[in-house]
Structure 1
Amino acid sequence: MDNINRIMNVYNVEDDEDDNEIQGFIVFGVPRQLYVRQNHFDNYDEANFERRFRLQRNTVLQFLQLIEHQLEYAMDMNNSVSPMNQLLVCLRFYSTGGHLQAIADFAGMHVSTVSRIIKRVSAIIAALGRRYIKFPDTQEAIKACQRKFYDVASFPRVIGAIDCTHIKIESPGGNDAELFRNRKSFFSINVQLVCDADLKIMNVVARWPGATHDSTIFNNSRLYAQFETNQYPQCILLGDSGYPNKPYLFTPLLNPVSPEEQLYNEAHIRTRNKIERCFGVLKRRFPVLAYGCRLKLETVQAVIVATVVLYNFIKENGNDIVPPLPEELDQHAFDILIDNGQIPDIHAHEAQMGEMRQEFINAYFRNLV
């Protein structure tokens, strides 16, 4: 209490009505800073707006309608941040992955306000995951998905391409921090994605440390349980050699010999390339996923799912053309960061080749030779 009284006396801030003006600007000797918030939604033309926030203006308005009621404050006191400004702050962070101080200066807010907004808005957007991140749920939708994959390289029954990508993070600290260090020696979350032939993401798992193997993530996922219980009969996932070969998950052959095996591998590679393209498009749309996210672990997980929700929302309702990278971001560095450099781990049983996969090759690809 003596220290507080001393500080109050130094700056002559007394508890008196006559000094309300001084109290309004000085709190314990720190001048109060009044921020001037810019109207970024109206200040930029369409091209500059999309370059800074990665979404078109109309798409932002459409998406804001979904979450506006959750972003509004009960009372408009103390110059509260509007739902539109909250969303734009979050989008600006996704678009750059920059320091919070830089985002705060851009938005005309204190850095603590920006931090709270990103955490809150990301959680609200991520909560829409069940609505926008899902497998086709009708036979007609499944058949349509399989036809689109078939048109790529004549590979039948494919419903999705699966793979994992690393999202760079800061060390989370604690006894388990090293679990997040991946084989490329940086800390990350290993994120599993499944996409369709249109590069729309149908499944995301964003909770495993970077040192976790791709097959471990899949074997402990809800998707694994769904395919094991035959919820998607006559449907195939395509994965790289890091995954175990299953009746519903086909991997490439290690040493194709016969013409039908070579044709199978070629069709597999061309069809599974959809997930590799999906990684590039997603990280180019939201560069925070490529350059890394310097937030707490729980917030990073929410950011990952939130960007996937926005990515799918754009595919359904917005302009699917990916805008160029902002001028302050380096294209060459970006290309390096989205290159996962994954070296597939060949399982021991791959040398024996699964019977289901070999039967499939003999029954289908032999007829195409």
Structure 2
Amino acid sequence: MAVPIAVLDCDLLLHGRGHKTLDRFDIDTVSDDFLLTTFGFPREFIYFLVDLLGDSLSRRTQRSRAISPDVQILAALGFYTSGSFQTRMGDAIGISQASMSRCVTNVTNALVEKASSFISFARDDSTKSQSKEDFYRVAGMPGVLGVVDCAHIAIKAPNAEDLSYINKKGFHSINCQLVCDSRGLLLSAETHWPGSLSDGEVFKQSSVWTFFEEQENHDGWLLGKDIVFCSTGDRLYPLKKWLMTPLQYPETPADFRYNMAHTATHEIVDRTFRAIQTRFRCLDGSKGYLQYSPEKCARIILACCVLHNVSLQSGLDAWTFERTETPDQSEGGCEQADAVDSEAFRIRQELINNHFN
């Protein structure tokens, strides 16, 4: 009697019984070194992810021979951290390219569902106070709640008609805005903005802008860069009561000390970007651009941001895999005088007088 093909798993058909199939791969049978070098994370962290995402991944795979949550997680981690396309990573755990693609999608969606639980400005007063103290120890800048910056992640061209993702350097990208604390923990990650938008345009449309603008009382501030474009006169990040920018024309020793402290403290978000792109090689461009729609690319980037925070909260170092070279993420511009918020200007001047004189 013929057996309907629908009941057979495609991986079994492709690889045969002599190959490790999806239900034969056992995480407990491989070495710690294999897990770390192949999938980028230690065994304990992978077990934590299985506990965190297991229910969601089980719901997503209701087939009779569904791939187990731990194998799905290994498949996705392998793709995120190696940057290799899915065939090689699928071979490492004995699943087909089609199954590998489903695993990456399932795990990405499960991580995105957890984003608000791991990436948030919602912190108690004690945590905020500790973060300010940690920022102050970096370079003597008081009152810092977080540092903000953008970086471009290369993606494939969506289609011939869509020019919104072509950035100023001529390639298709998503402009991602991150805010992090002194440890590199992400407080905000917006990974969906088209590459044609400048950092300033992203910032003014972001949830971060809305969050701080709607607050009546600010018990600190973010730090942002301040480049002004000759063509438009627009600031990269405008000086606000809740956003401190460098002085464009420092004159006094206190001005220069303030700018130096600002630069040294702001560098934390740049280091965090570099660490994320180095740990998750699918984002750093060395393996080529992300081969998906902008919407799926945005979800993959956000999933990596969630993993960054989960790993940091699990005790791993935020900058363990940080590369030393600094990618050119800046947008060309020149200094130009521009009107600023008078109250914000007063607050910054008071900060300089009280702490850098």
The normalised TM-score by structure 1 is: 0.82
Equivalent pair of 1:190/1:206 in contact (CA under 8 Å): yes
Structure 1 residue 360 and structure 2 residue 357: aligned? Answer: no
1:165 is matched with 151
Supply the distance in 2 between the matched residues of 1:308 and 1:335 (Cα, whole angstroms): 20
Q: Which amino acid aligns with 1:253?
A: L
Change (3 A) 1:149 1:362: same
Match for residue 27 of structure 2? 41
- Show the counterpart of 2:237: 243
User: How far apart, CA to CA, are the structure 2 residues paired with 1:273 and 1:41?
Assistant: 38
- Give the alignment of 1:128-277 within 5 angstroms: 128-176=114-162, 178-230=163-215, 233-241=218-226, 242-277=236-271
Indicate the structure (1 or 2) with the bigger Cα radius of gyration: 1
Q: What is the deviation of 1:200?
A: 0.5
Q: Distance in 2 between matches of 1:306 and 1:231?
A: 32
Per-residue CA distance 1:111-147 (angstroms, 9 max, x = gap): 2221122112101111101100011432222222211
SS in 2 for 1:194: strand
Q: Letter of the aligned partner of 2:316 in structure 1?
A: N
Contact 2:312 2:318 (C-alpha < 8 Å) held by counterparts: no
Shift, 1:280, TM fit:
1.1
Change (3 A) 1:40 1:347: farther
356 and 269 in structure 1: CA distance in 2 versus 1, 3 angstrom threshold: farther
For 1:46, the aligned partner's letter is D
CA contact (8 A) 2:308 2:318 kept: no
Match of 1:126, SS state, is: helix
Aligned ranges for residues 85-100 of structure 1 at < 5 Å?
85-100=71-86
Give the distance between the partners of 2:246 and 2:139, measured in 1 at CA: 14
Structure 1 Cα separation of the partners of residues 250 and 341 of structure 2: 13
CA distance 1:346–1:240, change in 2 (3 Å): farther
Identity of aligned residues (%): 25
How far is the alpha carbon of 1:294 from its aligned partner?
Answer: 1.4
Which position in structure 2 is the counterpart of 1:115? 101
Could you say what secondary structure the match of 2:189 adopts? strand
- After the TM superposition, which parts of structure 1 deviate over 4 Å for at least 4 consecutive aligned residues? 73-78, 321-325, 346-350
Change (3 A) 1:261 1:340: same
Alignment deviations for residues 289-326 of structure 1 (CA, whole Å, 9 cap, x no partner): 1023212222211111111111111111142266669x
2:316 corresponds to 1:319: yes
Gaps of 5+ in 2: 227-235
Deviates more, 1:79-88 or 1:228-237: 228-237
Q: Say which is worse superposed, 179-188 or 193-202, in terms of deviation.
A: 179-188
C-alpha deviation, 1:182, in angstroms: 1.3
Per-residue CA deviation, residues 44-84 of structure 1 (Å, 9 max, x unaligned), is: 42233112212111011012111101112698755321110
Match of 2:291 among 274, 291, 294: 294
In structure 1, runs of 5+ residues without a counterpart are: 1-16, 326-333
Q: Which residue of 2 aligns with 1:343?
A: 331
Structure 2 counterpart of 1:188, one-letter code? S
2-structure distance, mates of 1:152, 1:194: 17
SS in 2 for 1:130: helix
**Partners of 1:260 and 1:361 within 8 A in 2:** no
**Counterparts of 2:61 and 2:311, CA distance in 1:** 32
Measured against aligned partners, the alpha-carbon deviations of 1:184-231 in whole angstroms (never above 9, x if no partner) come to 222110000000001101101111111111111111112111111126
Deviation at 1:105, TM superposition (A): 2.6
Normalised TM-score (structure 2): 0.85
Question: C-alpha root-mean-square deviation of aligned residues, in Å?
Answer: 2.7
Secondary structure at the counterpart of residue 233 of structure 1: coil
Distance of aligned partners of 1:88 and 1:159 in 2 relative to their CA distance in 1, 3 Å threshold: same
Query: Alignment partner of 1:106: what SS?
Result: helix
Give the Cα separation in 2 of the matches to 1:265 and 1:124. Answer: 41
Deviation at 1:358, TM superposition (A): 4.1
Distance 1:283 1:58 in 2: 22
Deviates more, 1:303-312 or 1:241-250: 241-250
Structure 1 range deviating more: 32-41 or 312-321: 32-41
* CA distance in structure 2 between the partners assigned to 1:231 and 1:283 by the alignment: 36
Aligned residues: 335
Three-state SS of the structure 1 residue aligned to 2:192 is: strand
Is 1:307 the counterpart of 2:307? The answer is no
Alignment partners' CA distance in 2, 1:289 and 1:48: 22
Deviation at 1:166, TM superposition (A): 0.8
Q: Is the 8 A contact 1:51 1:323 kept in 2?
A: no
Cα–Cα, structure 1 residues 231 and 358, in superposed 2: closer, same or farther, change >3 Å?
closer
Contact 1:73 1:80 in 2 (8 A): no
In the alignment, the residues of structure 2 paired with residue 222 and residue 74 of structure 1 have an alpha-carbon distance, to the nearest angstrom, of: 30
Is the partner of 2:158 in helix, strand or coil?
A: coil
